[in-house]
Structure 1
Amino acid sequence: MAARLHVPVVLFMALAAAVGTSTIYPMQPAIADVADSLDTRIADVGFALACGPVGYLVGLGLLVPLVDRWAPGRVLAVQFGVLACALAAGAAAGSVAALGVVLGVIGACSAVGAGLSSVASRLADPGRRATVLGMVTAGISVGILAGRIVGGWLADALGWRAMLLVFAAVCGALAACCVVVLPTVAGAAAERGYFSTLRSLPGLFVHHVTLRVAALRGFLWFFAFCAVWAGIAVALSEPPYSYSAERIGLYALAGLSGIAATRIAGARTDRDGARRVILVGLVLAGAAAVVMAFGLANPPVTLVCLAVFDAGLFAAQVANQSTALAIEPSAPARFNSAYMMVYFVGGSLGTAFGAAAVDRFGWSITTLIAATAIGLAATSTAR
């Protein structure tokens, strides 16, 4: 099975993970344009956009386990096909309610990135599992960053409806490629019923302490990650900075360091083990958060700290996730599904907390709280 994952296949998986993950983000920069087009309030469009993350959580639970039950090439081709249709339907939406439903479907199918990482873990050679996982995770990281950047650029250039059609066309092309490029090897879960697999997800946390610890660590640092990025957008938009949305968005480019970190972290995990990589990543991210708490007025310092912060957390994520997926190497998707659901809940809470906490407590306290969450994750690793 490992022979099927040649480098070009892994690179395609990383690209597909980037595109699939990105589809949940491109409408965020265009929220005001969408509200004007649909003749509704920005707050209403905000509620519609919130359907995307909710759908993503559903996709993690219901769709990701499918790649271990049936041929991943066919499963992911169908998901990309549905994603393309949903994006096209979003471009034609005439009301905010219809848009919310469509975004829920888009969110669910955007979980293809988690499905691809499960496939990568199952079919990679055991000695290169974390390296391959790091490459696919790098794609997911690109999608998280590029979705907003590319979406905003296309929306400005073509309008938000045409922007969605561009994403739909790319997803349609990837659906066709998945059938040809991705492996057709079903996992051990093919012998287990689908609903039995779903029912087994909560029990995984009861029976596997490795999964519990990994999920808790991921919850804590993704909470911190999202709190910092949501908080900095609020802090920079208010006096004394009052930056434009475009200028604030440029800060996200510092996160590109995390893409290189995932590749390096995967190789180091295969060589040195996950624990050391996790600890180094968390120490770097925690230190960067502390410096950022008092250095926001200095853009170069902030950008360097954001780069180190993202690189540390993305490196820790690759190593940590590899420990969860290695519990049952022949069928890792349900473990990935369980892990990512907890991870994503942490991120959702962090986003809500970061935006509100900066208004109430200020940037410094918000960032120090995020650093504390990272410290707790490091403590659980050092034991």
Structure 2
Amino acid sequence: MTTVSSTDATYRLSTPLLGLMATATGLAVASNYYAQPLLATIATQLDISSAAAASLITVAQLSYGAGLLLLVPVADLCERKRLIIILMLLASAGLALSAAAPGLPLLLVGTALTGVCSAVAQVLVPFAATLAAPQHRGRAVGAVMSGLLLGILLARSVAGGLSSLLTWRAIYALAAIAMVLCTLALARALPRYREDVGMRYTALLTSVVRLFVDEPVLRVRALLGMISFALFSLFWTPLAFLLSAPPYGYADAQIGLFGLAGAAGALAANGAGRLADRGKGIAATRLGLAVLLLCWLPLGFAPTSLVALLAGVLLLDLAVQLVHVSNQNAIYALRPQARNRLNAGYMTCYFLGGALGSWLAAWLYPFAGWSGIVAMAVALAGLGLVVGAVGLKNHSCTIS
């Protein structure tokens, strides 16, 4: 069994292992998004409102944020491989519970358990950065983040497609099986790694807060990440309701196909990683922030134009990845010995932004429709441009 130490300069992260880590990251995060194209069906079958059904997405993202804050820093205390395996198995159990849930309360419990433990994805990302050679770190992070975004987006396509053949419960059951199989593969392939920072758990959590105080780059990048993922969720959460209503009237399988359109944006993750390796992370961030605003021009016509909707989806997911991967590469370079805590702080803010976007969508869409979604998105994207213009200028000399 391979064991890697923090001072091991001979270990090389293989392409197959990197691919497996990307797959595991995608499966873990996907578990929070299978419900999105199924919301209308779940609402009908469980006899609940659309807002109650949309709460599944909000709960998933809030619990994921809790896992990021409370569980990811533990990777700086314990052996990484063991932590990854335990969290993957618990996330699988949450999916199985959701599959068997007779009503919304137990479905929310299963969703919360899966959400908390699927934070394992953000143990895998910095682990890949740690195992990779320094000159390839951006590429490794980009590859794993491609897996993460593909998991989020393809979860919709897979769930929507299978719903025409199976029940929504079967989709959760199959997802649990896939997670278990991936966990077994990780148990065989991952090296053991431990780098104890010499802190107690409470001190470790406190140090996450301290990092925000001490690192202005982390504060700026976390705020940009929060805004970008809020925009991502603001779009994807109400999309199933938009597409299931006239003039589209699409079924779950057709709605899920839109995840394939957005998946093309995952290619930006590798591109952003390579830009960061060449010292152009700030340029990638600024481009992403600009596109986050511009994409809402075609998305404004989404209720009547399928072409505009598809164009907007591609631009939105491209922009989110440019900002996100650039953010992660910037914070990982701050303190290599604190990557898990830096990642925990950043990703907690990131998914709090996602939960905010889902909540805003669930609140706005029933009353203001798609025009309300677009207006809110333009305001948030404008805020992101302001934060980027001020924050990246002030800290551009500090880190790219």
Q: TM-score, normalised by structure 2?
A: 0.86
Written as runs of structure 1 = structure 2, the 5 A alignment for 1:1-383 is 1=8, 3-31=11-39, 33-34=41-42, 46-47=54-55, 50-189=58-197, 191-230=198-237, 236=243, 241-246=247-252, 247-293=254-300, 297-357=304-364, 359-360=367-368, 361-362=371-372, 364-379=374-389, 380-383=391-394
C-alpha contact (below 8 Å) 1:60/1:111 kept by paired residues: yes
Cα distance, 1:58–1:282 mapped onto 2, change above 3 Å: same
* CA-to-aligned-CA distance 1:28-81 (integer Å, 9 cap, x gap): 433455566667666655545643223212111122122232222111111111
Paired with 2:361 and 2:336, the residues of 1 have a C-alpha distance of 36
Paired with 2:84 and 2:239, the residues of 1 have a C-alpha distance of 35
The aligned amino acid for 1:20 is: A
C-alpha contact (below 8 Å) 2:268/2:322 kept by paired residues: yes
* CA-to-aligned-CA distance 1:245-272 (integer Å, 9 cap, x gap): 5444433332112211101110111013
Paired with 1:83 and 1:332, the residues of 2 have a C-alpha distance of 23
**CA shift at 1:290, angstroms?**
3.4
C-alpha contact (below 8 Å) 2:12/2:133 kept by paired residues: no
Moved more, 116-125 or 361-370: 361-370
* CA-to-aligned-CA distance 1:196-247 (integer Å, 9 cap, x gap): 21122222211111111111111222222222334555555556x3442544
The aligned amino acid for 1:381 is: L
* CA-to-aligned-CA distance 1:103-150 (integer Å, 9 cap, x gap): 211111111211111211222222221111011111110111122221
Query: More helix by proportion, 1 or 2?
Result: 1
* CA-to-aligned-CA distance 1:155-201 (integer Å, 9 cap, x gap): 33222332222111111112222222112111243x22222211222
C-alpha contact (below 8 Å) 2:76/2:340 kept by paired residues: yes
Say what the alpha-carbon RMSD is for the aligned residues: 2.6
Cα distance, 1:346–1:307 mapped onto 2, change above 3 Å: same
Across the two proteins, how many residue pairs are aligned to each other? Answer: 381
Paired with 1:111 and 1:70, the residues of 2 have a C-alpha distance of 16
The aligned amino acid for 2:384 is: I
C-alpha contact (below 8 Å) 1:231/1:366 kept by paired residues: no
C-alpha contact (below 8 Å) 2:288/2:319 kept by paired residues: yes
Paired with 2:302 and 2:94, the residues of 1 have a C-alpha distance of 42
C-alpha contact (below 8 Å) 1:289/1:371 kept by paired residues: no
Cα distance, 1:337–1:242 mapped onto 2, change above 3 Å: same
Moved more, 142-151 or 352-361: 352-361
The aligned amino acid for 1:328 is: R
Q: Residue 351 of structure 1: SS of its match in structure 2? A: helix
C-alpha contact (below 8 Å) 2:57/2:358 kept by paired residues: no
Paired with 2:344 and 2:112, the residues of 1 have a C-alpha distance of 18
The aligned amino acid for 2:353 is: G
Moved more, 172-181 or 90-99: 90-99
C-alpha contact (below 8 Å) 2:232/2:357 kept by paired residues: yes
C-alpha contact (below 8 Å) 2:39/2:240 kept by paired residues: no
Paired with 1:43 and 1:105, the residues of 2 have a C-alpha distance of 21
Paired with 1:38 and 1:248, the residues of 2 have a C-alpha distance of 20
Moved more, 301-310 or 203-212: 301-310
Paired with 1:350 and 1:330, the residues of 2 have a C-alpha distance of 32
Paired with 1:228 and 1:161, the residues of 2 have a C-alpha distance of 25
Q: Residue 342 of structure 1: SS of its match in structure 2? A: helix
The aligned amino acid for 2:211 is: L
Paired with 2:81 and 2:226, the residues of 1 have a C-alpha distance of 30
Paired with 1:162 and 1:372, the residues of 2 have a C-alpha distance of 41
Q: Residue 158 of structure 1: SS of its match in structure 2? A: coil
Gaps of 5+ in 1: none
C-alpha contact (below 8 Å) 2:21/2:124 kept by paired residues: yes
Paired with 1:36 and 1:363, the residues of 2 have a C-alpha distance of 23
C-alpha contact (below 8 Å) 1:201/1:338 kept by paired residues: yes
Paired with 1:42 and 1:78, the residues of 2 have a C-alpha distance of 34
Q: TM-score, normalised by structure 1?
A: 0.89
